Each structure stands twice: as C-alpha cells, then as structure tokens.
C-alpha cells in the first residue's frame, strides 16, 4: 500500500524558513504530479504548489517568490522549501497525488487528488 509521509514542520519565527518533505513508500512516484496543500484552522484546504513528473511547477500567488518545490526521484521525495514565513502561513501542510493518474497534470483543486499524507504542522510566530 502506498503511503505519503510529510515531515519537517515545526515552530518558527516570522521571517524564518522550513523545509518540508513528502516521502512516498510502496511505489515509485517519479511518474506522478505531486501537490502541496495547506489548511489553517477554520479555513478550507488550499493549494500551495505543484510539481509534475517532468519538473513543471506551479505556485499559489500567496507563496510565489517565497516557497520552492522540488523533487528527488532517487529518494522518492518531494520537498517544499519555505522562506520569509509569515504568521498567515500557519497551517497543516499536506502533500497529495493521484496514483491512478500517472503522467497527468493534476492542477490546484483538492478533488483532483485522491491520495493524501497525514500532514505536518507549520506554526509561524509573530
């Protein structure tokens, strides 16, 4: 069974940075688009960034210039490097994919993704 496991979250001061990781087990996911989403308390889950199987990248406007998504297929891991963090970045961050859709652009909508990790908490203090 495939599992997505996020790590790297924590408590950081405003202006700081964290590197989040999304590791897959059970299947090689080099052929899949991987998305990062986040959900703050009382808010809907929102798109953060996406990387395709060929390295195409898309970001939400709110994180452009501050976050960088990348992947290391040899390690079966996708990263989200965050920087210049703001209190409004506080949320649980999730990685996701659709293992039934290899080599497909998945977009920025949560319902495009079928397989999700458990999330990692990022808290930015002011």
The answer for residues whose C-beta is within 8 angstroms of residue 111's C-beta and 6 or more apart is: none
18-25/77-82 β-pairing: antiparallel
Summarize the confidence of residues 43-69 as an average pLDDT: 97
> Residue 89's closest CA among 35, 24, 12?
12
pLDDT value at position 112? Answer: 93
pLDDT value at position 28? Answer: 81
pLDDT value at position 27? Answer: 79
- Answer yes or no: is pLDDT of 125 > 90: yes
Confidence of residue 119 (pLDDT cuts 50, 70, 90): very high
Structure tokens at 34: 């991987």
- Give the C-alpha separation, 70 to 72, whole Å: 7
Structural contact between residues 9 and 20, judged by C-beta atoms closer than 8 angstroms: yes
- Answer yes or no: is pLDDT of 116 > 90: yes
> Residue 35's closest CA among 71, 73, 82, 85?
71
């Amino acid at each position: 069974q495939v599992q997505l496991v996020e790590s790297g979250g924590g408590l950081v001061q405003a202006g700081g940075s964290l590197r989040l990781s999304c590791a897959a087990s059970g299947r090689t996911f080099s052929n899949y688009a991987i998305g990062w989403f986040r959900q703050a308390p009382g808010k809907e889950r929102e798109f953060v960034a996406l990387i395709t199987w060929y390295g195409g990248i898309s970001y939400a406007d709110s994180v452009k210039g501050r976050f960088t998504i990348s992947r290391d297929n040899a390690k079966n891991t996708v990263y989200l490097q965050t920087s210049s963090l703001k209190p409004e970045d506080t949320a649980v961050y999730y990685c996701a994919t659709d293992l039934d859709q290899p080599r497909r652009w998945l977009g920025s909508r949560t319902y495009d993704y079928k397989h999700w990790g458990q999330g990692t908490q990022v808290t930015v203090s002011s």
